[in-house]
Structure 1
Amino acid sequence: MKFLLASLLIFFSANAALDDPAEEARAQSLMRELRCVACENEPISQSSASIAEDMRARVRTMVGEGASDDEVRDWFESRYGEFVLFRPTGKGLSGLLLWGAPFGLLIVGGLIAVGVARRRQAGVSEVEPVAPEDV
């Protein structure tokens, strides 16, 4: 019975809004930036999954303890991976591929277009008109 009461107390205190309205606004903003790991493409602010409730409670706890927004994002990224962030940081090889691939494909497409144009131009020779009697 004591365990049940303690669990309920922790649950309701963790999901309660922060006392400072500015901190609660920061927490709500962070909750919109973090993806629920159970429901894809849904922020934890809108998810009803139990893991999202735990994630919201953790965000409020960290903000209440004075953690910066970057520290909160880094904590969730280290725990769940870069997938949890709606705005990936773009570090390392994945960032290079994410930001460099479109430019690389544009350059390759341009080189192919130039090569095709040069081949067509080299293959075209002067064409002499044909007289109607020769046809």
Structure 2
Amino acid sequence: MTVATTAARRFAAITLCVAAPLAASCLTARADATARRPGAELFITVRTAAGEARSMRLTCEPDGGIHPRPEEACDALREVDGDIDALPVDDRPCTFLYQPVRAEVRGHWGDTETDYARDFSNACVMRRHLSPLV
């Protein structure tokens, strides 16, 4: 083995000894950052059968985003620990007019991924089930 080959091997070994702990700490920090997500970030979309759509972004902790009532929506979700199906249903009556709408909520509530989609017979029925989220 030549002196140049031995020196190159030593340099490579030293480089690996220095770089390996740094790379491991970076990977661990990345995994920790993605594993613990505080608060919530939800993208809410309401679509009509006519193809019209409106979208909102809701963040909780801190409450905000592009949403008309973020504090009210976040408070309602906190009451049910982010379970959209568990939101209380308003008992006000709605008409039997059939104008279907679809509500979709995607994002995360803390560490839990949220992927909610439901069709409603009209906007009134949707609001009864999802207010103040929509």
* TM-score (norm. length: structure 1): 0.26
Higher helix proportion: 1
Larger Rg: 1
Higher relative contact order (CA 8 A, sep 6+): 2
Please, what TM-score do these two structures have when normalized by structure 2? Answer: 0.26
